[in-house]
Amino acid sequence: MYSVGVDIGATKTNFVLVQRGKILKREGVLTAKNQKGLLEAIEAVSEDLLSGISRSEVKGIGLGVPGPINKERTEILNPPNLTSLSNQPLAKIVQGHLRLKTKMENDANCFALAEARLGGGKKSKVVLGITLGSGVGGGLVINGELHKGAFGAAGEIGHMTINYNGLKCSCGGQGCLEQYASEKFFLRKGAYPQAFQEKAQKGDKRALNVYQEYGRYLGAGISSAINLIDPDVVVIGGGISSGYKFFIKSVQAEVALRVISPSARKYVKIKEAQFGAWSGAVGAALLVD
Amino acid sequence: MYSVGVDIGATKTNFVLVQRGKILKREGVLTAKNQKGLLEAIEAVSEDLLSGISRSEVKGIGLGVPGPINKERTEILNPPNLTSLSNQPLAKIVQGHLRLKTKMENDANCFALAEARLGGGKKSKVVLGITLGSGVGGGLVINGELHKGAFGAAGEIGHMTINYNGLKCSCGGQGCLEQYASEKFFLRKGAYPQAFQEKAQKGDKRALNVYQEYGRYLGAGISSAINLIDPDVVVIGGGISSGYKFFIKSVQAEVALRVISPSARKYVKIKEAQFGAWSGAVGAALLVD
């Protein structure tokens, strides 16, 4: 049996064809700016990936979408970076077009699900997935199942307060981890993360210091989550995680300092995402698995 | 069938006899300073509560203990306020003496379990229990079961960082919620919480302001937890919760500000513990239920 996973990002949409947890094919396209274009792309690329496969052998399509979705997982709620999908019952529309079972989930939850079931968190009881990019997303997987929370809103690690009187956040809060551990942090230092990464790669002192400071904030947020939910594994992904080696030591130092349980401090594993940029799409495919 | 629950606090040890979720008898004694005295008290009071009941009708004894315990729930690990029990296999010793099945759990977890199954969190999917006293403890109950975490250390909400460069904490961390939402906060303002409560009761402006500031910090910590785990209900207990009405509005204002999900913000319920000082003992009894 086959499944298709679609990770709809603000700029890029990634597709995978998955069979028994293995990626058979993958394809990335630019995300269309309007709903019609996006639906056409989802149809065309899915049909392409499924060419030669009988529909009776296809479990369905999973969609990973940015931003909050409603508790029933039928509608996207005001995605800040994908306004064309605002309050649209995307899964239902896709299901109508493609005549395949379609499910939808928040993209960071898809990321966490993929890494928990097939990637860095395999065989773990409690997995926390964190995506570092233009924002900070998160997902919690307990005993192989997504912890969606009472109102479908769990996993928002990016909006945990790590600095009570700190920077105002676009969510309306203050001192949110996202202000210190997303792209926004690097932009305040003067450039995109990629620019700092290139410099750090060449041994640039300032760039290395910027990554260290970044890691300390990220580490404080991760420590808070460890103290509350005590995961076996924390998996880190998203665009900024390509600079993993430049910030991981600072993260670990903060965990050593801020995690209260001696056993959690000692045994918790922090890992890089195994599926790289494709984790979200793989997790989306798992939704219909 | 009957169960006995024992909540061993730094100063007081509470006992309850429970049948089908109802407290039949309760008794509180001062906590003995040495292990021998403590064991004698556990035996004597338990025998007293169980007088006239056949052993075949007793499910066992549950012990709620302060501080961390090992993953296997057999030993207490260095409780800061009860050093006589350090690294002692208390449950095994009690079981040997009383010849009744004995289980042990962290006291804040017992609190959360009681409130989730029988108190303010009844029929909820995700319950966060918080105890406010000399420290800040927490416990997470998901679908009626304790979320112990991968290493038995979940629920330590008191050691979430809410102020990155804030006050040093006895845990070795910095800016922990416990520094701002436990007794320590009131002591920095000059007196024990009880003194502030008496003044607030009489309308004293400064005391009311101190409670408001307290509520804002507590609210930031609670909001962080809501963002990550999305509970239906947050139940607040512990000694300081007797001043609930003086800080709850500030807590709610912070939740309105800092919780990102519109539905979590709207629907999450914050409640006072239903069993008051007896929640921990009731939860301990549920361990053998």
ipTM of the complex in this document: 0.95
pTM of this prediction exceeds 0.80? yes
Chain A residue with minimum CA distance to B223: A160
| The token pair that represents B92 in the structure block | 């095994």
Q: Do A230 and B153 touch (CB under 8 A)?
A: yes
Sign of CA dihedral B138, B145, B66, B55: positive
Q: Find the helix or strand (DSSP H, E) in which B142 lies.
A: strand B136-142
- Rounded Cα distance between B30 and B81, Å, is 14
Cα(A235)–Cα(A160) distance, integer angstroms: 18
- Binary contact (A147, B229; C-beta < 8 A): yes
Looking at residue B134, the DSSP 8-state letter turns out to be S
Mean pLDDT of chain B: 95
- Angle at which helices B205-229 and B193-201 pack, to 10 degrees? 120
**Per-residue pLDDT at A103:** 96
Residue B282 has pLDDT above 80, yes or no: yes
Residue B107 CB partners (closer than 8 Å, separation 6+): B7, B8, B9, B64, B65, B66, B131, B137, B280, B284
Which pLDDT score is estimated for A82?
77
Whether the per-residue pLDDT at A114 is higher than 90: the answer is yes
Is residue B47's pLDDT more than 80?
yes
Give, as one character, the DSSP assignment of residue B53: S
Give the pLDDT of residue A88.
84
Please give the residue that has the higher pLDDT: either A66 or A6.
A6
B162 → closest Cβ in A154, A157, A164: A164
User: What is the predicted pLDDT for the residue at A218?
Assistant: 98
Q: How far is B82 from chain A (nearest CA, A)?
A: 17
- For A132, A227, B4, B240, the CA distances from B33, given in Å and listed in that order, are 50, 30, 22, 24
Q: B24 in helix, strand or coil?
A: strand
A224 interfaces chain B, CB cutoff of 8 Å? yes
Structural domains in chain B plus CATH codes: 2-109+278-286 (3.30.420.40), 124-272 (3.30.420.40)
How far is residue A12's CA from residue A236's CA, in Å, rounded to a whole number? Answer: 20
Contacts with A, B 128-167, CB within 8 Å: 138, 140, 142, 147-157, 159-166
